[in-house]
Amino acid sequence: MGDLLKLAWGFAASGVDVELLMAIQKEVTTRLGRVDLQSFSELSRHEFLQDTLGLLWASNFAGYRSNNLLASARLVIRQAGAIMDRAHGPSSSPAFESMGKLPCTEADLWQPAGKPQIILDLPDRLVIFKPPGWEVHNQNTDLQLSSFLQATLGKRFAILRDEGHQCGFLHRLDLPSSGLILAAKTYEAYYDLKVQLNAGEIARDYVILCHGWMRPYLKDIKAKVYWRGLLPTSAGDQGKPSLTRLKVIAHARHRAIALSLVAVRIATGRRHQIRSHFSHVGHPTVCDGKYTAEATFQSDQGLCARNFLHRYRLAFKDLAGKDHEVMMPVPADLMISLQCVTSRDIQSAETTRDWVSGISLRSWQDYTPLNLDFGGKQAV
């Protein structure tokens, strides 16, 4: 499986031989059909699951993922999660424990509700809002979403304390950013969502404010990204294949600075992917201390106190295959920033007003890119 994974990754990164890629998937599907997870050691099972998930990701990224592979992988990987749930077993601890008063930090200055909120709570998975200044799980700050969930949900869910499984979190958000985070309460839910994530079935939609008037016909940024340790991510010719899809939905200015409001959907979830990709094409996000010049960062603070990046929408399926969609407007601090900009044209003004009011949120694919012929180019 490991060798097949390396081969599939190679095709995903450098070009596709469709017949060979489909042959790899057929071989993997056959192996999945006869695997006995009960006979695996814990380490072997973990390696097998990671290889299978990686093959799903590579096939989906290449654009040639077979339905047979997805169905077989979903069945086997969910079975592995169920085995882990039975091994850990439920706890008799209370279902809810208050985490008490949280410390006052800069996050409280960014918005009135500076604490996380559980937005959607399903029996085995949930969506939580991450305020700016909070970290999902990495212990670089005292404000940890993992600690919040452990204190809020008690000790019933073993995965929430399992660092080897990211404490149940399916993805992350950078410290200065805000938005929706998906987390699992059980191992079966975690691996079910991992399959969805690697197969491209989970939609993660963002809104950003970036520098310059981006060309509305720019549809995506496809550049490899590379990072090491705490150094900034580098976008270019080296690193892991990465794809960011975008729609320029408004042009504006703040004083003499040109700005673009952009709806974003990521096809891959690399570290600092959006921030490094937009910097790579010459349109860094507003108030981004890592990916702009120091003078630009200092100037941006007159408009926004933190990086203008917000994950406003998540769409996924539950264990029964039912679709769920969660959307959340930009927090108050970002609304205030948008109120301070001057729109370039009528369409931009209408779009910006929608984001300021928090109405008319929709899926990324339902947004109409900016039409520069619409309404002229006069400031509004």
Amino acid, single-letter form, for residue 150: Q
Per-residue model confidence as pLDDT tens digits over 65-118:
899 999 999 999 999 999 999 998 754 333 433 333 334 333 333 343 478 999
Per-residue model confidence as pLDDT tens digits over 172-229:
898 999 999 999 999 999 999 999 999 999 999 999 999 999 999 999 999 999 988 7
Q: Strand (E) positions, the chain?
A: 117-121, 125-130, 178-184, 203-211, 220-222, 224-226, 234-236, 243-254, 257-266, 309-317, 323-327, 342-343
Is 197 part of any domain? no
Q: Residue 343 is encoded by which pair of tokens?
A: 């729109």
Q: Residue 337 is encoded by which pair of tokens?
A: 């920033």
- Supply the pLDDT for residue 216: 93
Contact (Cβ atoms closer than 8 angstroms) between residue 269 and residue 245:
no
Same domain (yes/no): 162, 218? no
Query: Rounded to the nearest 10 degrees, how much is the dihedral formed by the CA atoms of 270, 172, 314, 124?
Result: 130
**Structural domain boundaries enclosing 160:** 106-189
Contact (Cβ atoms closer than 8 angstroms) between residue 186 and residue 47:
no
> Cα angle at 38 between 36 and 40, to 5 degrees?
85
Find the farthest-apart pair of alpha carbons in the chain and give their distance in angstroms, rounded: 69
- Supply the pLDDT for residue 67: 93
The whole-angstrom separation of Cα 255 and Cα 161 is 48
Same domain (yes/no): 9, 124? no
Which residues sit opposite 343 in a β-bridge? 252
Residues of the chain with confidence (pLDDT) below 70 = 15-16, 90-113, 373-380
Same domain (yes/no): 163, 209? no
Is 379 part of any domain? no
Same domain (yes/no): 134, 216? no
Q: Looking at residue 348, which CATH number applies to its domain?
A: 3.30.2350.10
Same domain (yes/no): 331, 244? yes
Q: What backbone phi and psi angles, to 5 degrees, belong to 316?
A: -155, 180
Sign of torsion over alpha carbons 110, 111, 114, 119:
negative
- Supply the pLDDT for residue 100: 36
Q: Residue 330 is encoded by which pair of tokens?
A: 């930009």
Is 163 part of any domain? yes
Q: What backbone phi and psi angles, to 5 degrees, belong to 295?
A: -65, -40
Same domain (yes/no): 206, 350? yes
CB neighbour list of residue 361: distance below 8 Å, 6 or more residues apart: 312, 313, 327, 329
Is 224 part of any domain? yes
